[in-house]
Structure 1
Amino acid sequence: MAPETTPAPDDRKPGDESPEAAPHYHGHRGRLRARFRETGGQGMPDYEILELLLALAIPRRDVKPLAKDLIARFGSLADLLAAPLDQIERQDGMGEIAAIAVKTVREAALRLLAADVVKKPVISSWAALLDYCRARLARESREETRVLFLDRKNVLIADEGHGKGTVDQSPLYIREVVKRALDLSASALILVHNHPSGDPTPSRADIDMTRDLAKALKGVGIALHDHLVIGRHGHASFKSLGLL
């Protein structure tokens, strides 16, 4: 007969464990889960949501101090989710598994936002498109350029990264963008990039590059609908500013 096994503390019902058998944080963790079930997480501070997440990746340690340290270092849960993987891994108490768990949440959130945009006309889902672009780019520490390719009905058919650079510039190779648009049979596109400084005001280089791209696309019958610059404090639209 196989020996009886003792259930893991996290799987026990309240009252099943003795004080000696269950670490002090298991009761606290159970109360957090109960609050989350009742509220869906609404009203819970960032560090408690993070604590619940870290508990799944680091089940045998009290992660409340680690969650508070991470929020203090990065500023908020949103800033932590947007931070580079290697920076999260370097935090004392974190490792590859926990850091990847954090980044997985961000990717899942981006895909949730993208679901309201992909395969839909961008004009009718413009607010959702802006939400998606802000979530993906507003908190990035380096400039990144993305290209949204549209079909003849202005339906988004592809969202691709086409350059990741430094804190104040990101390379864009116009020939590659035009070639990719032709490969996708795109009829139009929207250019999107971020300003890590937080100020979305287009630079002189942004304006010159956009005009060069629009001219190259026009030569092959493809329209450049807009160029969005994303910052923490808002966004700028070349079309709305009269720059396109």
Structure 2
Amino acid sequence: MPPSAHPALRIATRHDAEALFAGLSGGAVEAVGFAYLGPERRLLGLRHIIGHADSATVPVARIARDAILLSAQAVLIAHNHPDGDPRPSPADLALTRRLAQGLDMLGVRLLDHLIFGGDHVASLRDMGAI
């Protein structure tokens, strides 16, 4: 199923991105959301992947394919940590690097990877991981 479209919404700031993915916070299983952005950071589409209690498999090729099909200029990724700790795991950091490199080869920028844990949100861009 293709990502859902929301073309009128603009994601201009980190606050906008956190608001877009706020529904991920507090979940009992790990869930991942992707936002595909076009010109002026207009939302072209969203994809959500539901995982397990402590992990979710992210199909990097599918994310890249969606970016191509939507003619996205940028992608945002966000996921939750059901244990409430927003610090990135080694797997989170590795995925972020792989996704950023893969998207970059397509001319698409990974804007940020947000991790929701409890009442806190960690930004991998702010941490220097992107």
Task: Return the TM-score normalized by structure 1.
Answer: 0.49
Q: Which amino acid aligns with 2:30?
A: E
Instruction: Encode CA deviations 1:124-156: one digit per residue, 9 max, x unaligned.
Output: 5x424313422x111211001110000022111
Query: CA 1:217–1:129 in 2, change beyond 3 Å: closer, same or farther?
Result: closer
- Greater strand fraction, Structure 1 or Structure 2: 2
Among residues 71, 75, 78, which one is paired with 1:192 in the alignment?
A: 78
- Greater helix fraction, Structure 1 or Structure 2: 1
Among residues 10, 15, 34, which one is paired with 1:127 in the alignment?
A: 15
SS in 2 for 1:210: helix
8 Å contact 1:149–1:156 — kept in the other structure? yes
Mind listing any 5+ residue stretches in structure 2 that lack a counterpart? 1-5
Mind listing any 5+ residue stretches in structure 1 that lack a counterpart? 1-116
1:173 aligns to 2:59 (yes or no): yes
The structure, 1 or 2, with the larger RCO (C-alpha pairs under 8 Å, 6+ apart) is: 2
Q: CA deviation at 1:118?
A: 6.0
Among residues 104, 117, 124, which one is paired with 1:238 in the alignment?
A: 124
Q: How many angstroms apart in 2 are the aligned matches of 1:138 and 1:210?
A: 19
Q: How many angstroms apart in 1 are the aligned matches of 2:65 and 2:7?
A: 21
Q: How many angstroms apart in 2 are the aligned matches of 1:192 and 1:184?
A: 19
SS in 1 for 2:79: strand
Structure with greater Cα Rg? 1
Instruction: Encode CA deviations 1:100-144: one digit per residue, 9 max, x unaligned.
Output: xxxxxxxxxxxxxxxxx96233125x424313422x111211001
Equivalence for 1:221: 107
Task: Return the TM-score normalized by structure 2.
Answer: 0.89
Divergent runs of 4+, >6 A:
none
8 Å contact 2:21–2:33 — kept in the other structure? no
Instruction: Encode CA deviations 1:1-42: one digit per residue, 9 max, x unaligned.
Output: xxxxxxxxxxxxxxxxxxxxxxxxxxxxxxxxxxxxxxxxxx
For residues 80-229 of structure 1, what are the structure 2 equivalents within 5 Å? 119-124=8-13, 126-134=14-22, 136-161=23-48, 163-229=49-115
Q: How many angstroms apart in 1 are the aligned matches of 2:112 and 2:67?
A: 15
Q: How many angstroms apart in 2 are the aligned matches of 1:211 and 1:187?
A: 18
Fraction of identical pairs, as percent: 29
8 Å contact 1:199–1:233 — kept in the other structure? no
Instruction: Encode CA deviations 1:163-220: one digit per residue, 9 max, x unaligned.
Output: 2211111000100100011011111100111100111101000000110011111111
Aligned residue pairs: how many? Answer: 125
